[in-house]
Amino acid sequence: MRTYQGEFAIELPRQTVWEFIMDPHRVGPCVPDLLKLDVESETRFRTLVRVGVGPVRGKFDMMVEVSVIEPQVSAELSVRGGGMGSRVDMKAKVTLGDTESGGTKLDWRCDAAISGPIASLGGRMIDNEARKITEKLFANLREALSSVSEQVAATSAETVEPETTD
Amino acid sequence: MAVRQTELRPLGKSVGRKEDPRFIRGKGRYLDDISLPGMLYMCLVRSPYAHARIKSIDTSAALQAPGVKLVITGEDLAAMNLAWMPTMANDQQMVLATGKVLFQYQEVAAVIAETREQAEDAAQLVYVEYEPLPVVVDPFKALESDAPILREDREQKSNLIFHWEAGDKEATEELFRNAPVVVKQDVRFPRVHPSPLEPCGCIADYNSATGKLTWYVTSQAPHAHRTVLSLVSGLPEHQIRVISPDVGGGFGNKVPVYPGYVCAIVASLKLGKPVKWIETRTENTTSTGFARDYHMTAEIAAEEDGRVLALRVKTIADHGAFDAAADPSKFPAGLFSIVTGSYDFKEAFVEVDGVYTNKAPGGVAYRCSFRVTEAAYLIERVMDVLARRVGVDPAELRRRNFIRKEQFPYKSPTGWTYDSGDYEKTLALALEKIGYEQLRKEQAEKRARGELMGIGISTFTEVVGAGPSHTFDIMGIKMFDSAQIRVHPTGKVIARLGVRHQGQGHETTFAQIIAEELGLSTDDVIVEEGDTDTAPYGLGTYASRSTPTAGGAAALCARRIREKAKKIAAHLLEVGEDDVVFDGVGFSAKGLASRTVTMKDIAFAAYTNVPEGMEPGLEATYYYDPPNLTFPHGAYIAVVDIDKGTGAVKVRRFLAVDDCGTVINPMIVEGQVHGGLTEGFAIAFMQDIPFDEDGNCLATNWMDYLVPTALDTPKWETDRTVTPSPHHPIGAKGVGESPNVGSPAAFVNAVVDALAPLGVEHIDMPIYPWKVWKILREHGVTE
């Protein structure tokens, strides 16, 4: 079991951030190296991602389920899946708080259990790789949220030029 | 320099190996060299979890993949009553997981396709839904009352497999109560793997027209495998032919029956086509029979001068998820009770608790007669602890405690009867040859300069040649062995034995024994092993048992032929049988050396001119049930220097003096010793199979599990003493495992000796440089 965590602040009201992370269509694309996204319901989506750890390279098929712990405050994403004979079981908890400037602070903590040949790469590289993937996920989320705040800003300035981020 | 195979009286000579022309030129025929028409390939789906429920297995996508012919799951096998198979240790093991998985890399499904690539690709498409369960990797935690029960199939709801004892508990306690000196040491022998160069595999070829199954398999025990297969599958035994082709190393790893074998056979039965399965290196390292993994605690009660009184040993044995240890049936902890070693203990009491954990099953005798390596390592390590405690030189302490030459046959306090030995002679030769006194002087000088040099001794006793049928069986089959010799009219011989070599040189060694007995040369004799349709029944090659059992059978079988030859010689020489003498080369009339007939003359006569009333032909079969085991011994000395900056240990010299009784081929013995020492060196310094808390195996390939190369390996010095076995037909004892059994303690004793000035009493293997470096740093020796 490995634990990774981080936090960032975003200049958006908590309600907006909350709605964003509750929307599989918007959170799904934040998954790094995404090959395919298949939204099954409001709380479930399936992703196909490209993974490469040292000599092991292939695709992981992951099922993500979002559950609300406390509305507007915290939610849990459980990620289960795998490929190449390996498995990933991840629980990510996201907690929202207010910043003094009226924005939102987002704390995240992720517990990952990795099993199979990928885990056997042990201390050598899996740790870094898993950390990288997790951090990238939340970096992408932050970026996507930033684009929302830009859109919000743009909308309020009545110039409609949505930017895409990927 | 090897002598020619045409040499007469070849026994005891370094005859060049008959195997070498094919092996050196890459012309061996190993399993993967065999290709049959229409052959399919199998690949196994393995569990990523160490402990999990299986909620569902979806094979539909795999079945639709290109080239796929069949997918087998545990449920399919259950329908055939093959979901579980018996292990050699009277336990049962899942063939393919049903209900749950119990170790990472456990076999979950088998995919059979037209090519290996297709099978590998389709295996990725078998979707298994798991629900992870709590994992137990620590055998001590497995015994706690709140530990999850791993084996729900067993009646006994605990993770304890067995409790086993040997020796007299009361008498031992009594001696401990009044002993002036008691030393105690925890010693761990890590989990290691035999890691043969060639992994395991098989080709199952079921002929639906004849109903005959031909099974090519990397097997150290083809006959035993045939019987087990027949009992498990219900196929009639005479319709099964097991062929073990050239085997690229076994070391105990190719004794068990693995799930992949059963799946390949089932697939061939279902499809009526040959099915090949060869595991990858990772599969071999993570799922096939591991070795050791003993957590031992030894106590010695002794006098103040270091004379030993009693030994007390407690062991927790981690067997993994299924007890698939390779042990004779009556010995759940193998021959571990040989742990009193070369020393004259008055009493001893030994306990072993076998435990289930979420790890791969095994506990095979890796170059070892069933847990002898663990026992020898323990006693040799703890004798050094005692030596240090009472302030006696480790060589002197051993001399003080040796079983003396005149005490043989010696009955040990745990019930073994040692056949013969001369421990003092062997140690004396080793000390003299290495220059022990000079080395100790040099060490004292170096210590004064703050340099770290160590000398380690191991004077181990082995127990090999399982075994006598009154005690030894595997699943009820008695552990004798056999030879069948047929002499052709031109005096050429084909001999078949019930054992199966994996590179040990049987084709030469046994030809030498037979040629010696018959008055022929080695090149007159072909030795064949490994085909159950032609070879007589035998229990196979492991545990240094081939020479003690099949070697004995070969000699006695040849003597049977010689008996008949003598009668024919009398007929040819026209004298009475009592007047015929055999001088090792030919038969002559007593007092008339000029009138001689050779075995070649006699062989021709056996088919053309036998005396009236005699059955023609010249052949014999012999099943040899040895009266006792044999007890080889040795004295090994390691000299090491430790680099203070890095903690790296350099083995400067290593001398192995072995006594395996009569030597058949000194060159082959030396080769075996070199190989075993290299393995012992790897175990001491490089090898371990660790697991993380989730049960992930962290040594899954040769990048993480180190196998020594010529660059790492020290130069080996070897010598011999000869104390023949009194009960073996030619006095030979077996040597293959001695170096692996005897050397780890010599290495570790040397390292501990080097670090003794820092107060170090023990280090567990493997002795990685960082382990030593940490100790040096703790003591301020290095920055």
Higher per-residue pLDDT: B402 or B232: B402
Average pLDDT over residues B665-669: 97
Interchain CB distance below 8 Å, B700 and A87: no
DSSP state of B767: -
Residue of A133 and B357 predicted with greater confidence: B357
B131 touches chain A (CB under 8 A): no
Q: How confident is the model at residue B691 (pLDDT cuts 50, 70, 90)?
A: very high
pLDDT tens digits, one per residue of B703-732: 889 999 999 999 999 999 999 999 999 999
pLDDT for the residue A163: 46
How close B361 gets to chain A, by Cα (Å)?
17
Determine how β-strand B481-487 pairs with β-strand B493-497.
Answer: antiparallel
Total beta-carbon pairs less than 8 A apart between chain A and chain B: 53
- Find how far residue B598's CA is from the centre of its chain: 40
**Closest in A115, A122, A123 to B48, CB measured:** A115
* Alpha carbons B160 and B165: distance in angstroms, whole number: 14
Task: Give the per-residue pLDDT at B444.
Answer: 98
Residue B674 near residue B23 (C-beta atoms within 8 A): no
Q: Is the CB of B49 less than 8 angstroms away from the CB of A87?
A: yes
pTM of the model: 0.93
Is the confidence at residue B125, as pLDDT, over 90?
Answer: yes
Q: Nearest CA of chain B to the CA of A86: how many Å?
A: 5
pLDDT tens sequence across B439-474: 999 999 999 999 999 999 999 999 999 989 999 998
Which residues in chain B have their CB less than 8 angstroms from residue A46's CB? none
Spatial distance between the Cα atoms of B472 and B110, rounded to a whole number of angstroms: 35
- Residue type (1 letter), B1: M
Helix spans in B363-405 (H): 372-390, 394-401
Instruction: Check if B368 is active-site.
Output: yes
pLDDT band at B142 (very low <50, low <70, confident <90, very high): very high
Which pLDDT value is given to residue A159? 43
Scanning every residue of chain A, which has its alpha carbon at the shortest distance from the alpha carbon of B105? A116
The three-class DSSP label of residue B345 is coil
Name which of B696, B706, B768, B770 to mutate to probe chain A: the one with the most chain A Cβ atoms within 10 A of its Cβ. Answer: B696
What is the pLDDT, as a whole number, of residue A156?
55
Mean pLDDT on B268-274: 98
Q: What is the spatial distance between Cα B111 and Cα B41, in angstroms, rounded to a whole number? A: 8
Chain A contact for B282 (CB, 8 A cutoff): yes
Place of tokens 């009236």: B612
B705 CA: distance to closest CA in chain A (Å): 11
The pLDDT value recorded for residue B169 is: 98
B263 catalytically annotated:
no
Average pLDDT over residues B639-666: 97
- Minimum-distance CB partner of B697 among A114, A120, A124: A120
Give the pLDDT score at B660: 97
What one-character DSSP code corresponds to residue A47?
E
pLDDT given for residue A51 in this prediction:
83
When pLDDT is averaged across residues B29-58 and rounded to a whole number, the result is 97
Cβ–Cβ under 8 Å, residues B766 and B686: yes
Q: What is the tens place of the pLDDT at every residue in B612-637?
A: 999 999 999 999 999 999 999 999 99
Cβ-proximal residues to B591 (8 Å cutoff; 6+ apart), any chain: none
pLDDT at residue number A154: 62
Q: Does A114 reach chain B within 8 Å, measured CB to CB?
A: yes
For B350-405, write each residue's pLDDT tens digit: 999 999 999 999 999 999 999 999 999 999 999 999 999 999 999 999 999 999 99
Cross-chain CB nearest to A117 (options B45, B49, B700): B700
Say whether pLDDT at B1 is over 80.
no
pLDDT over threshold 90, residue A149? no
Q: Where are the alpha helices (DSSP H) in chain A?
A: 14-21, 24-27, 117-120, 122-156
Q: Do B132 and A89 touch (CB under 8 A)?
A: yes
Contact residues, chain A, for B699 at CB < 8 Å: 120
Cα distance from A113 to chain B (closest Cα, Å)? 8
Q: Is A113 on the interface with B (CB under 8 A)?
A: yes
- What integer pLDDT is reported at residue B275 of this predicted model? 98
Q: Does B54 reach chain A within 8 Å, measured CB to CB? A: no
The mean predicted confidence, pLDDT, of chain B is 96
